Structure 1
Amino acid sequence: MSIRLRLAVVFAIASAIVYGLGSWLFVSELASSQQGTIDSQLAAQLAKAGHYLPRPGSAAPTTGGAPVPGEYVVQLIDPGGRVRGGSADAGAAPLLSPSELRQARLGRVLRTSSVEGERERLLAAPLKNHPGWVAVADVSLEALDSTLSHVIRELLIAGGVLVVGAGVGAYGLARAALSPVERMRREVAGLSERDAATGVRVPHTRDEIAALATTMNLLLSRLQGALARQRALVADASHELRTPFAVLRGELELAGRPGRSRDELAAAVVRAGEEAARLTRLTDQLLFLARSDEDRVPARLERADIGQLLARCVDHAATRARAAGLGCQVDAPPGLAARVDPDRVGEAVDNLVDNALRFAPSGTSITISARAVGQDLTVEVSDSGPGFPEQFLPHAFERFARPDSSRARRDGGAGLGLAIVSAIAHAHGGRAEARNRPGGGALVALVLPGAVDRSPSGHTGTATCATTSRSRAEER
C-alpha cells in the first residue's frame, strides 16, 4: 500500500472516530436536554394534579381513548388503588404497579418504560394535602425518539460524506506533497554510475522535501566521489603493479635465453628478487589500507618510552642518511612516555623519515621531535627540503597521491606511505597533519589525543633494534 493511500485511510479513520465521538456527545446532550424538559413538564403537570380531584359522589373517570402523542396524561389514585380522577384520556387502570404505587406514596417515582414498542416517561408523587393519594403524570416519548432518529440519520449521512471527503482530500494532499519525492525517485533511478553530473532538482519550497533533496545531492556527490576514488585506486594500483610484473617478465625471458653466463643469471635473479620485494611491499600496503577502512587495524596500546622509540627509527635510517650526507636527530624530553602501539607508531615514523631522506638536501639534518600538549602526544618529522606544493597539501594523505604525475621509480614509490601514516593515526583515535615550515622544508605530524602517560613507573622499557623496517613513505 502506497504512502498516499495509507495517509488517506488513516486520515479517514481518524476523521470518522473524531466525528463519531462528537456526534455521540451531541446526540447525548440533545437527548438529555429534551428529557430534562419533559421531566420539568411532568413535574408541572403533577403540581396541577389537584384540579383533577373528583367531586363528592362522582364516579371514577372513564377512558377518553388513546392519548395524542406528546400530550400529558394525569391520574389521581386513591389509597385503595383506584383511579379517582385525571385527564380526559387517563383511563381507569392505574399506570403504576402495586409496588410502584406503594413507593410513590413515600416519595417520587420517575421511570421510562416501553409499552408495545413505544417509550413512555412517567413521574409519580404523593398528592399534596391528601394522605395516601398519588398523582401520576405520563407522556409518550414518540416525538423525542422520532427527533433523535432523524438527527442520528442526518448525522450518519453527513458523517459518511465527511469521511469520504476527508479521505479523498488527504489522498490529494499527500499526492501533491509527495510528488517531488516521486520526481526525485525517478531522477535517481535514471542516474548511472557513469554520469558526470549527479543530483536531483531541489524544489524552491524551503521545506522538508527541499532539505531531503539537498541531503540526497550531498549523498550522491559523496558516492560519486567514492566511486571516482575507487576507479582511480584500481587504475593506480594496476599502474604500479604493471611495472614490476613487466620487469619480472623481462628478466625471466632474458634468463631463459641460451648462452647466459652464471653472473648474468645471478644478476637477473637479484633484479627479479627486487621486483618481487616491491610487489610484496605494494600488496602489504594495499592490504593494510583495506583493513584500516574496515576498522580491522586496532592499536595494541602499551606504555612506551617515546625517546627510545624514536631513537630506534633513527637507527633504521642511519645507513641511508650517511650515504646521502644527511644528519638525523631526535628531540624529545627525557622520560616522555605514552600509551601507543609502538610497532605502528614506529612504522609511521619510519615512513616519514624515509620520505624526508629522499628530498632533504645534502648537508642538512632531519629532526624527529616529540612533545606532550596536555594529555596529547605530538610526533613531528621535519626536513629542510623543497617542501610540499601548496596545491598538494589538501591531498597529501590520499592514496596514490603525488605532487606530480610522474611515476618514475627515481621520484618515489607508489604514493601510499602518507596514507598509511594517516591510517595509523586514526587507529589511535588521532590525526596526521602535513604543512610547510616557514623557513623552508616539510613537516608532517602525528597527533595522538590522550596518549601521554604521566603515571609513575620504574620500568620505561629498554631500547631494542627492529630487524626490519616497515612500509616507506613515497609521496613527494
Structure 2
Amino acid sequence: MSAPAASSGRTTLGAQLALVTALVAVVAVLVAGVVSYPLISAAAQTQARQQLGTQADLLAEVIDRQDDGVMGQMMNGARLRQVLAAQGISVDVVRPKGVASPPVTEADLAVTRAGGTVSDVRSTGSGGTVLIEGRPTGSGRSVFLVQDSAAAASQGTVALRRLLLAGLIGLVVAAGVGLLAARRLVRPLRRAADAAERMSTGARDVALPVDGPEEVASVSESLNRLSSALAQSEGRQRDFLLTVSHELRTPLTGITGYAEALADGVVGPEQVPATGALMLTEAQRLERLVADLLDLARLGAADLRLSLVDVDLVTVCHEAAGVWSARCEKVGVRFSAELPATLVVRTDPLRVRQVVDNLCENALRVTPTGGPLVIALHAQPGSAVLEVRDGGPGLTPDDVAVAFEPAALYERYRGVRTVGTGVGLALVGRLAERLGGRAFAGTAPEGGARIGVVLPGPAPTLVP
C-alpha cells in the first residue's frame, strides 16, 4: 500500500469540531452573562430594598420597646445598630421636633410623622444612589436606614461571579464533550479515507463497518458499494479484453497460417487466388473488429464527431438491405424489410448505417439456415424506431438487462451457441445515446431477438 498523503497543513475535523464546541460554549456564557447581569442587578437591588425595609421595621420595633424602658431591648438596639453599620447601613433616628439630615428630606419626615413609610432610591450629590427606608415609631420618632446602592449590589456581583464560574465549568465540560464527540465522529471518516486510499492502489476487498451518524454511515455504505462496483466493472473489463484478444487472435492466426503456406510454397499457383481471398476476408474481419473497438473507445470520450442532417431513414435502410439480403442469401437465411414510404429524422446517416450493420451482423450470426431476418422501421410520436428481428434462440429477461454491456452475452453463452464479442451491441447502445436516443432489446414475433434503437424525430420535412 502506498504511503499516506502528506499533511496539507489544514486543521483536522476533530480539532475544528472541538474548537467550534468551545466557541459555542464561550458565546453561551457571554450571552448568559450579558442577559443575566441586568436581571441579577435588578433582583439584587429589589432584595436589598426588601431586606433594608425589614431591618427598618425591626429597628423601629426595638426603639419602641426601648422607649418602654426594657434594658434588654436597649442592648439589642445597640447590637442591631452595629450590625447595620457593618453592612454599610447608616441609621438616623429623628426626634419629633428634629430635622432631617440628607439624604433624608423634610418630605420624608412628613410621611413618617403622619404614620406612613418611606421606601425610595435616590441620587446623591456625588453622582451615586442610595436606598432609603423610613419607619415611624410609637413615640413619634422616625427611623431612617440609608444604604449605598453599590454596597447593596455587591450581592448581585457575587451571584454574577458564581454564574460566570458555573459557565466556565460548563465551558470546560463542553470542550471535553466536544472533543470526545469529534473523535467518535472522525473515527469512521478516517476509516473511510484509509479505505479510499487502499482502493486507489487497487484493493477491491474493502469492507467498512457501517456505524456512526446517518451521514457518516452513508459514506461507508457508498464506499462499500463503490468497491463492489469497481470489482465487478474491472472483472468485466478483464473478461472483455480476454474476449477481444481471442477474437483478434483468430483472424490473425488464419492470416499468419496462409502467409506461411504461401512463403513455404505449400500453396500451388492455382490456389493462390483462393488463398488470397481467404486472407482478405480474415483481414477485413480483423479490420471491422478493430474499427468497432476504436469507435467504442471514442464513444466513451468526447471526441466522436457527429454530422447531424435531415435524413430519410428509409433510404439508409434500403441501402443496407441491398447488402444484407445478399449475405443472407449466401447462408440460406430469409431476409425481408418492413419500411414505410418515407421517414425523416435529424441524425448522422453514417452512424445510423453503422447501427444497422452491427444489428444485422449480430442477427445473422445467431439465425439458423432457413430462419428469418427482418429490418423494420416505423414512426412513433416524436421518435423513429429502427429494429432488426431474427429467428434465432432469442434473449431471456436477464439477457435483455445486459444486452448492451461489452462481452456480457459472450461470457454467458460462450461454448453454448454462436456468439460474438459483444462489441457490436455495446457500440449500438453507445451510438444510440450519442444520437440522442436509446437502444432496446426484447423478443421478436419471429421467435428470436428484437434489437433496435429509438431515435428522436421524425423531422417535419423530407430531404429531396
> What TM-score do the two structures reach when normalised by structure 2?
0.70
Q: For residues 264-308 of structure 1, what are the alpha-carbon distances to aligned partners after superposition, in whole Å with 9 as ceiling and x for unaligned? A: 666665544444433322221111111212354464332222222
Match 1:376 to one of 370, 379, 383: 383
Given that residues 206 and 227 in structure 2 are in contact (C-alpha distance below 8 angstroms), is that contact kept between their aligned partners in structure 1?
yes
Q: What's 2:443 paired with? A: 436
Give yes or no for the alignment of 1:238 onto 2:245.
yes
The structural deviation recorded for 1:358 is: 3.5
Q: What's 1:12 paired with? A: 22
Give yes or no for the alignment of 1:70 onto 2:88.
yes
More helix per residue: 1 or 2?
Answer: 2
In 1, Cα distance between equivalents of 2:237 and 2:308: 32
The structural deviation recorded for 1:154 is: 2.5
Q: What's 1:278 paired with? A: 285
Residues 297-312 of structure 1 aligned to structure 2 (within 5 Å): 297=304, 299-312=306-319
Q: For residues 10-67 of structure 1, what are the alpha-carbon distances to aligned partners after superposition, in whole Å with 9 as ceiling and x for unaligned? A: 0111011012111221112222344567799999xxxxxxxxxxxxxxxxxxxxxxx8
The structural deviation recorded for 1:343 is: 1.7
Given that residues 306 and 332 in structure 1 are in contact (C-alpha distance below 8 angstroms), is that contact kept between their aligned partners in structure 2?
no
Q: Which amino acid aligns with 2:30?
A: G
Give yes or no for the alignment of 1:155 onto 2:173.
no
Given that residues 44 and 156 in structure 2 are in contact (C-alpha distance below 8 angstroms), is that contact kept between their aligned partners in structure 1?
no
Q: Which amino acid aligns with 2:295?
A: F
The structural deviation recorded for 1:165 is: 0.5
Match 2:457 to one of 439, 451, 458: 451
In 2, Cα distance between equivalents of 1:112 and 1:304: 102
What do you get for the CA RMSD once the two structures are aligned?
Answer: 4.2
In 2, Cα distance between equivalents of 1:71 and 1:414: 106
Q: What's 1:421 paired with? A: 428
Q: What's 1:404 paired with? A: 413
Per mean C-alpha deviation after superposition, the further-off stretch among 295-304 and 161-170 is 295-304
Given that residues 4 and 174 in structure 1 are in contact (C-alpha distance below 8 angstroms), is that contact kept between their aligned partners in structure 2?
yes
Q: What's 2:101 paired with? A: 87
Q: For residues 168-211 of structure 1, what are the alpha-carbon distances to aligned partners after superposition, in whole Å with 9 as ceiling and x for unaligned? A: 112222333444444555566566987675533334x8944443
Given that residues 344 and 463 in structure 2 are in contact (C-alpha distance below 8 angstroms), is that contact kept between their aligned partners in structure 1?
no
Change (3 A) 1:295 1:438: same
In 2, Cα distance between equivalents of 1:157 and 1:38: 23
The structural deviation recorded for 1:212 is: 3.4
Q: Which amino acid aligns with 2:245?
A: S
Residues 382-401 of structure 1 aligned to structure 2 (within 5 Å): 382-388=389-395, 392-400=399-407, 401=409
Q: Which amino acid aligns with 1:87?
A: S
Given that residues 324 and 362 in structure 1 are in contact (C-alpha distance below 8 angstroms), is that contact kept between their aligned partners in structure 2?
yes
Change (3 A) 1:340 1:72: farther
In 1, Cα distance between equivalents of 2:193 and 2:256: 51
Per mean C-alpha deviation after superposition, the further-off stretch among 257-266 and 241-250 is 257-266
Name the SS for the 2:233 alignment partner: helix
Given that residues 120 and 138 in structure 1 are in contact (C-alpha distance below 8 angstroms), is that contact kept between their aligned partners in structure 2?
no
Given that residues 298 and 427 in structure 1 are in contact (C-alpha distance below 8 angstroms), is that contact kept between their aligned partners in structure 2?
no
Given that residues 352 and 381 in structure 1 are in contact (C-alpha distance below 8 angstroms), is that contact kept between their aligned partners in structure 2?
yes
Unaligned runs of 5+ in 1: 44-66, 75-83, 91-107, 125-136, 463-476
Given that residues 40 and 159 in structure 2 are in contact (C-alpha distance below 8 angstroms), is that contact kept between their aligned partners in structure 1?
no
In 2, Cα distance between equivalents of 1:270 and 1:361: 25
The structural deviation recorded for 1:332 is: 3.0
Q: Which amino acid aligns with 1:26?
A: S
In 2, Cα distance between equivalents of 1:390 and 1:149: 82
In 2, Cα distance between equivalents of 1:219 and 1:363: 47
Give yes or no for the alignment of 1:351 onto 2:384.
no
Q: What's 1:31 paired with? A: 41
Q: For residues 385-418 of structure 1, what are the alpha-carbon distances to aligned partners after superposition, in whole Å with 9 as ceiling and x for unaligned? A: 333466644332221332532499xx46533111
Change (3 A) 1:9 1:389: closer
In 2, Cα distance between equivalents of 1:288 and 1:439: 31
Q: What's 1:104 paired with? A: none
Give yes or no for the alignment of 1:167 onto 2:167.
no
Q: What's 1:21 paired with? A: 31
The structural deviation recorded for 1:241 is: 2.4
Q: What's 1:333 paired with? A: 340
Q: What's 1:461 paired with? A: 463
Q: Which amino acid aligns with 2:414?
A: S
Given that residues 41 and 157 in structure 2 are in contact (C-alpha distance below 8 angstroms), is that contact kept between their aligned partners in structure 1?
no
Change (3 A) 1:190 1:368: closer
In 2, Cα distance between equivalents of 1:111 and 1:2: 57
Q: Which amino acid aligns with 2:463?
A: G
How many positions carry a matched residue from both structures?
A: 393
Change (3 A) 1:387 1:283: same
The structural deviation recorded for 1:73 is: 8.6
In 2, Cα distance between equivalents of 1:447 and 1:293: 20
Identity fraction in percent? 28
Match 1:214 to one of 216, 221, 236: 221
Given that residues 73 and 86 in structure 1 are in contact (C-alpha distance below 8 angstroms), is that contact kept between their aligned partners in structure 2?
no
Name the SS for the 1:300 alignment partner: coil
Change (3 A) 1:110 1:391: closer
The structural deviation recorded for 1:310 is: 1.5
Name the SS for the 1:382 alignment partner: strand
Per mean C-alpha deviation after superposition, the further-off stretch among 314-323 and 158-167 is 314-323
Q: For residues 310-359 of structure 1, what are the alpha-carbon distances to aligned partners after superposition, in whole Å with 9 as ceiling and x for unaligned? A: 11211222321332344433323333322222221221112222333334
Given that residues 289 and 420 in structure 1 are in contact (C-alpha distance below 8 angstroms), is that contact kept between their aligned partners in structure 2?
yes
**Runs (4+) of structure 1 moved beyond 6 Å?**
36-43, 191-196
Change (3 A) 1:364 1:277: closer
Change (3 A) 1:170 1:268: same
Q: What's 1:48 paired with? A: none
Given that residues 73 and 139 in structure 1 are in contact (C-alpha distance below 8 angstroms), is that contact kept between their aligned partners in structure 2?
no
Name the SS for the 1:372 alignment partner: strand
